[in-house]
């Protein structure tokens, strides 16, 4: 049942305010400015002994894991990174007893992720899951974890589950942070930010008509470049994946800082750039990258907190706390990918060559 939408993807994009509300519900503790995560199976004493966090997932879940690692480093100050699960399992990874491993999966059935979990368990590691489907294989094999509560996702490409997974990571990061060194004031600030998310997502959804017009303008591009820095880079990766998957337009994502180390050679009028530019301490650096692109007559679509003078078009996104900005900045680009694919007449819910859950190697 598409509930009045033409595609599941559109329905799932539109459901995000409610979905995010669900991942937050019942978990926030205002008294201690923290978060309770019932199924984590990690007590405070154990949480204090974690020296590193390694996040594993595939595709969109890997991108959510990259944002998750950033959130954990920012809020809990635990060194964290994310890696594609399939790469991890085939490189005979060094499994360290002081590292907490986190497997991320919408379906909970992705074979590469499951096999990575099994390899880790065999080597005695502690593995948690950040999973959407309750009772799925990965949920069962992990020692505990956080359910993402995005609800069923039918469209092959992931949208609401990505947003909810990143929000679940924000909860986990806040929880770990408050056990360690995050102050009550910062905990409170992030909690207030989390509570603003559903309303702000609603505001972004209201811009659909304008985003649709932009999508039509860029739909005949042969290729697109996506750039961002630090918090914006995983958003660029995910936005570029979404565009590729459903529109079949070639897209690349780069850290804006890497442009001058190579990809700038590609910039010309026929290669538009989508630039993710939050209003954070890297704003000026990002603006400098836009100037570099303009100097080569590249077209620019910015996703930013304020109109960008150097850009040809800007999608203005509401501002939250800096740590949570990446959650919001991905959403207009889901809508952008959707309308690009629609303009090109693609089969949006079932893109060619792809399956919803990849249960084979």
Q: Which residues of this protein are in contact with ligand F6R, per CB under 6 A?
A: 58-61, 105-107, 110, 113, 157-158, 245, 357-358
Residues 300 and 293: beta-carbon distance below 8 Å? yes
Residue 104 C-beta: closest distance to ligand F6R, Å: 7
Annotated catalytic residue within 212, 216, 285, 356: 356
Question: Is 356 in the active site?
Answer: yes
In angstroms, how far is CA 272 from the centroid of its own chain?
Answer: 22
Residue 176 C-beta: closest distance to ligand F6R, Å: 22
What are the start-end ranges of the H helices in the chain?
Answer: 8-14, 16-24, 44-49, 59-76, 85-90, 111-122, 137-141, 160-179, 184-205, 208-218, 232-247, 283-295, 325-329, 331-343
Residue 255 C-beta: closest distance to ligand F6R, Å: 21
Between 65 and 193, name the residue whose CB sits nearer to ligand F6R: 65
Between 44 and 354, name the residue whose CB sits nearer to ligand F6R: 354
d(CA 344, CA 324): 33
**Residue with the shortest CB distance to ligand F6R:** 59
Between 27 and 244, name the residue whose CB sits nearer to ligand F6R: 244
Closest CA to 336 of 255, 275, 269: 275
Q: How many CB atoms lie within 10 A of CB 191?
A: 22
Residue 249 C-beta: closest distance to ligand F6R, Å: 15
Which helix (H) or strand (E) is 297 found in, with range? none
Q: Could you give the maximum distance between any two Cα atoms of the chain, in Å?
A: 56
Between 105 and 286, name the residue whose CB sits nearer to ligand F6R: 105
Residues 41 and 66: beta-carbon distance below 8 Å? no
**Residues belonging to the active site:** 356
């Amino acid at each position: 049942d598409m509930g009045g939408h033409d595609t599941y993807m559109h329905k799932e994009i539109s459901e995000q305010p409610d979905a995010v509300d669900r991942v937050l519900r019942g978990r926030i503790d205002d008294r201690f400015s923290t978060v309770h995560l019932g199924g984590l199976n990690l007590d405070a004493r154990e949480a204090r002994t974690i020296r590193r966090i390694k996040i594993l997932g595939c595709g969109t879940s890997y991108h959510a894991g990259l944002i998750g690692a950033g959130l954990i480093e920012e809020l809990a100050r635990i060194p964290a990174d994310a890696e594609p699960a399939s790469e991890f399992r085939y490189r005979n990874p060094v499994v360290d007893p002081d590292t907490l491993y986190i497997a991320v999966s919408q379906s909970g059935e992705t074979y590469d992720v499951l096999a990575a979990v099994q390899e880790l368990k065999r080597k005695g590691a502690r593995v948690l899951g950040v999973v959407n489907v309750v009772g799925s294989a990965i949920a069962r094999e992990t020692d505990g974890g956080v359910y993402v509560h995005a609800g069923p996702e039918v469209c092959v490409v992931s949208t609401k589950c990505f947003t909810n997974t990143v929000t679940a990571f924000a909860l986990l990061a806040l929880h770990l942070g408050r056990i360690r060194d995050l102050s009550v004031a910062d905990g409170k600030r992030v909690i207030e930010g989390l509570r603003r998310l559903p309303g702000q997502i609603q505001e972004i959804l209201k811009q659909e008509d304008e985003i649709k017009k932009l999508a039509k303008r860029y739909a005949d591009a042969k290729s697109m470049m996506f750039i961002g820095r630090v918090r914006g880079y995983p958003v660029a990766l995910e936005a570029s994946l979404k565009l590729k998957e459903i529109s079949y337009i070639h897209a690349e994502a780069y850290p804006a800082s890497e442009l001058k180390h190579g990809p700038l050679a590609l910039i010309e009028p026929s290669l538009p750039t989508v630039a993710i530019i939050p209003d954070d301490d890297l704003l000026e650096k990002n603006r400098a990258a836009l100037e570099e692109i303009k100097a080569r007559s590249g077209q620019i679509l910015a996703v930013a907190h304020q109109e960008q003078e150097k850009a040809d078009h800007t999608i203005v996104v509401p501002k939250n706390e800096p740590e949570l900005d990446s959650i919001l900045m991905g959403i207009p680009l889901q809508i952008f990918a959707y309308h690009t694919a629609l303009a090109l007449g693609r089969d949006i819910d079932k893109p060619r060559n792809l399956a919803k859950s990849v249960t084979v190697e």
